[in-house]
Structure 1
Amino acid sequence: MEKKLAVVVGAGKGMGVNIAKVFGMHDFKVAMLARNLDKLEPLTDELKTQGIEAYTYAADAASTESLTAAFQKIRQEHGSVDVLIYNAAILTAGFPTKLQSSDLMEHYQVDVASALHSANLVLPEQIAKGSGAILFTGGGFALYPMAEYTCVSVDKAALRALTFALSQEVKEKGVYVGIVTIMGSIAPGTHYDPADIAEKYWELYEKQEDIEYVFK
């Protein structure tokens, strides 16, 4: 039986590779997308040593053209995407009065607009099959905005709203949409260990009951 495919956009040594590992350990094949393959390929090799079928693709979340090309290649090589996890974000600080509108739009493209673009790249096939899932990485700033991280606060709030709106639209078509809202700073060996948080993505996918899991 052909393995299901999970795609992680914005893969790295933190949440991305841990999410891929969780789905891989549940017999998914995983494709990880990032701008820098030199940093990503050692993580992929690590997954392979654990018996996980893993692949890497170069893609820049700031460019819809780059994402489209990467997903086209994935579709050609592995078929349709069963689960999309969008984990890309720009997490730099900035107070409102220190930001230009162009700064806000640059962040928004990566944090929100490209999340929607990625979802729309996989949704037609998921809807046609009547099954599939889309998961987003949210953040506590969506609920408790901080002036020092204005762009992150605005974008995580927008991503959360997008999640709920998209879920309303596609739930009856057989596609599950959810978000893991992380209320603290991700770091191994802490309460916000990425390995522990990654389990919640699988939990949301497996149960497909709640739209949001707040990790606090």
Structure 2
Amino acid sequence: MIQEQTVLITGANKGIGYEAARQLGQQGYYIFLGARQQTNGQQAVEQLQSEGIRAEYVHIDVTDPATIQSAAEQIRQQSGSLDVLINNAGIAMGGNVPSEQSIEEIRSVYEVNVFGTIQVIQAMLPLLKEAPQGRIVNVSSGLGSLAFNSDPAHEHYGANPLGYNSSKTAMNAVTVLFAKEFTDTPLKINSVDPGYTATDLNGNSGPRTVEHSAGTVIGLAVIDENGPSGQFFDETGPIPW
């Protein structure tokens, strides 16, 4: 059985997810690297292993309940518990005009960003409850903040993709409701906005590096028993819903 603290990161074969795996691995965590495609996931695991990080590939497609359940069983057999879950998998599609985005595109975004997150949390909760201090970090976005979306002075006020923005708002609601359920328990659940980061999601146009943004994400993964739960953070601290 694995003796180190463990973390499952979805969508971790590249970008912020991969870098979060690398940084947590450097801190001594055993990495369950979640990815849809085995080739990509295994290559990412081999790269981590070449740096001396203990990691293994977990086949998980957050839109496929069978892979989610098999991932939970793999982790149960390997460690019996899970210390940290980072829901990093996410997609964006469609243009910037809400009235023109198709409902099919919006559904596709919600399947990953919202329903996928819920399914993974529900499947991993028994393992997280077995850990001394389970942690869930939902990788959201400032574009999901209703306060930011309604503030003409905010820097991203003009970013208006209906499916993506509203899916991250819904993800934040998921965070709040699960956190309420586990109030007064060791389990802590938070949302994080890693910031506009250069990744494939945005054509590598963001000004932040994955190294910087991954640090923001894992800051919530390693909070102690006095840390927050049911809140929304970026690199500066708490931000409005």
TM-score by length of 1: 0.89
Shift of residue 128 of structure 1?
Answer: 5.0
Partner of 1:65: 66
The structural deviation recorded for 1:36 is 1.4
| Cα distance in structure 1, aligned partners of 2:160 and 2:218 | 32
Task: State the number of aligned residues.
Answer: 216
Aligned counterpart, 1:127: 129
8 Å contact kept, 2:63–2:112:
yes
**Which segments of 5 or more consecutive residues in structure 2 lack a partner in the other structure?**
150-157, 237-241
> Unpaired runs of 5+ in structure 1?
none
Whole-angstrom CA distance in 2 between matches of 1:4 and 1:130 = 10
The reply on whether 1:171 has 2:183 as its aligned counterpart is yes
Going from structure 1 to structure 2, the CA distance change for 1:130 and 1:78 (only over 3 Å counts) comes to closer
Instruction: Measure the CA separation in 1 of the matches of 2:206 and 2:91.
Output: 22
Give the match for residue 112 of structure 2: 110
1:161-214 CA deviation, whole Å, 9 max, x = no partner? 211221122131210111211332435897411111111223223335233321
Contact 1:141 1:183 in 2 (8 A): no
Q: Quick one: distance in 2 between partners of 1:161 and 1:131?
A: 22
Equivalent in the alignment of 2:165: 153
Please state how far the C-alpha of 1:78 moved relative to its aligned partner. 3.1
C-alpha change, 1:98 and 1:200, in structure 2 (3 Å) is same
SS at match of 2:67: helix
**Is 1:19 equivalent to 2:20 in the alignment?**
yes
Aligned residue identity for 2:65? T
Quote the sequence identity (%).
21
Match for 2:110: what amino acid?
Y
Instruction: Give the aligned partner of residue 98 of structure 2.
Output: 96
Structure 2 partner of 1:214? 234
Instruction: Quote the offset at 1:126 in angstroms.
Output: 2.8
Which amino acid is 1:67 matched to? I
Tell me how far apart the structure 1 counterparts of residues 109 and 205 of structure 2 sit (CA, whole Å). Answer: 29
In structure 1, the partner of 2:155 is none
CA distance in 1, matches of 2:136, 2:170: 16
- How far the C-alpha of 1:129 sits from its partner, in A, is 4.9
Rounded Cα–Cα distance in structure 2 between residues aligned with 1:149 and 1:178? 24
Distance of 1:69 and 1:26 partners within structure 2: 27
Counterpart of 2:152 in structure 1 is none
Report the Cα distance in structure 1 between the residues aligned to 2:98 and 2:180, rounded to whole angstroms.
32
Do 1:171 and 1:177's aligned partners in 2 also have CA atoms closer than 8 Å?
A: no
The 8 Å contact of residues 197 and 205 in structure 2, kept in 1 or not, is answered as: no
Show CA shifts across 1:17-73 (max 9, x none): 111112111111001111112122222111112211011122212222221222222
Match of 1:138 in 2: 140
Q: Distance in 1 between matches of 2:60 and 2:131?
A: 26
Name the aligned partner's letter for residue 172 of structure 1: D
Shift of 1:140: 1.8
Separation of aligned partners in 1, 2:30 and 2:186: 21
Q: TM-score, normalised by structure 2?
A: 0.80
CA distance in 1, matches of 2:174, 2:189: 10
Structure 2 CA distance, aligned partners of 1:26 and 1:2?
14
- 1:199 corresponding residue in structure 2: 215
Structure 1 residue 88, shift from structure 2 partner: 0.9
Q: Distance in 1 between matches of 2:50 and 2:130?
A: 35
8 A Cα contact 1:127 1:173, kept in partner = no
Task: Rate the CA distance shift 1:183–1:196 in 2: closer, same or farther, 3 A.
Answer: closer
8 Å CA contact retained: 1:11, 1:87: yes
